[in-house]
Structure 1
């Protein structure tokens, strides 16, 4: 079966338009959303409701991202409000409340939090039930990555690392240089979280640097001979730059290979 994968939508209806285009092109494909539905652009609520509908119709599954977890924590207990607001949550609260009520509001006010509960409890309940890993065929989908230095990266990686890990997933931890890590699993791993234009490194025993120049954030494939590949698909949408319109990846779940895509270009 063909699988459509998209990560780090960050409230962008442009990205969702691209998803719909790819779904129309591959009508029998299943869609997997890799997290970070909130923050960056102004349509977080609309993006969430579209994804919720596809999941309810059993046409998609969604996993949790770090921005979604920050929204969840805010809705549970605003003691963690500062972290979310530092990452764009203040603007998201303003946009969501304006979408629901038409009001302009101070996102840090008690009234704003009450309005969020009154209008978006369904989204909160949906996000609260999201898994952090999805395995589909020979593919493993996770928002940020795995701690590849553990004995069993799937079971031993902490939840916070599944949502936030970067360097310890991308690179070897036993080297001071930026050398890409090996994939010890029998799964092709697909992640978002880190815009690919910010990833730069080398393979073992290679003098050639692999890098893109941000804001160019195409799909990046890292693979050593004899191992399953790792795909990084974050198109840098959280930057809100007009050139960062997201990456839509289409995989063959049986081979783990990328068979089609719509990618961010400079």
Structure 2
């Protein structure tokens, strides 16, 4: 039976990605939805992109673009990146591309350019890296950068009174637009959770793989999830984005 599996922020942790795909027993029949931030942090960013390109040739995958992916895309296109990017994991990404040919770099650039801003499935479930601020949904967003940077959607869900009913006048209109929303970008570690976390109708899949957490993959129909080992244990001689 085919499944729809959603994967949180990877941040250069190729070993973690291999673990979760194995632990979830992923098959070519499964649809894989990646929520972005494939690069920056641990040392194997370019290897992840190479693997994902090859994986997408074997089974259906949907790749959402994260803020770190935009930085990497710009670097691949213009051969320069902002200091803030280099200081937030970008240097490890640049280092991982040391031995790549110009043809391989172009192939990876095209992969980033094809990524989606967001995706809505046939059950009205939204998949987006960060969020959106428009009460009319991401398609009405004035600033497309919100797809990759917005934290207010998640902050709203976290701050909501659990007793608030959906028919209440005070229930956030942004959350009523979709059956469920799947995001990354803001680590669940910030609220003391190391597993995929549900608030309102939002599932946050960023379980801190860039830092001290694990990478997570979840079956969106059953909410069963699998996790890698914590990333520091997979890369014991590295700091990820902790350093």
Q: TM-score, normalising length from structure 2? A: 0.79
Name the SS of the counterpart of 1:141 in structure 2. Answer: strand
Name the SS of the counterpart of 2:210 in structure 1. Answer: helix
**What's 1:251 paired with?**
220
Structure 2 residue aligned with 1:140, among 126, 130, 133? 126
**What's 1:219 paired with?**
196
C-alpha deviations, 1:189-209, integer Å up to 9, x for none? 00011110113xxxxxxxxxx
C-alpha deviations, 1:57-81, integer Å up to 9, x for none? 3421111011100001122235643
1:265 Cα deviation from its structure 2 partner: 8.0
Separation of aligned partners in 2, 1:127 and 1:246: 21
* Contact in 1 for aligned 2:184/2:205 (Cα 8 Å): yes
Report how many aligned residue pairs link the two structures.
216
Separation of aligned partners in 2, 1:194 and 1:136: 22
Range moving further from structure 2, 138-147 or 79-88: 79-88
Runs of 5+ consecutive residues of structure 1 not aligned to the other structure: 102-114, 200-211, 224-228
**What's 1:131 paired with?**
116
State which structure, 1 or 2, has the greater radius of gyration over its C-alpha atoms: 1
C-alpha deviations, 1:184-236, integer Å up to 9, x for none? 2133100011110113xxxxxxxxxxxx2xxx52110012xxxxx21001011
Structure 2 residue 231 is matched with structure 1 residue 230: no
**What's 2:106 paired with?**
121
Cα distance change, pair 231–264 in 1 and its aligned pair in 2 (3 A)? farther
Separation of aligned partners in 1, 2:53 and 2:15: 18
1:179 Cα deviation from its structure 2 partner: 3.7
**What's 1:169 paired with?**
153
**What's 2:96 paired with?**
95
Cα distance change, pair 27–123 in 1 and its aligned pair in 2 (3 A)? closer
Cα distance change, pair 26–221 in 1 and its aligned pair in 2 (3 A)? farther
Runs of 5+ consecutive residues of structure 2 not aligned to the other structure: 162-170, 231-243
Q: Per chain length, whose mean CA-contact separation is higher, i.e. which structure has more relative contact order (CA < 8 Å, sep 6+)? A: 2
* Contact in 2 for aligned 1:217/1:264 (Cα 8 Å): no
| CA RMSD between the two structures | 2.5
1:7 Cα deviation from its structure 2 partner: 1.8
**What's 2:37 paired with?**
36
Separation of aligned partners in 2, 1:15 and 1:265: 7
Cα distance change, pair 22–145 in 1 and its aligned pair in 2 (3 A)? farther
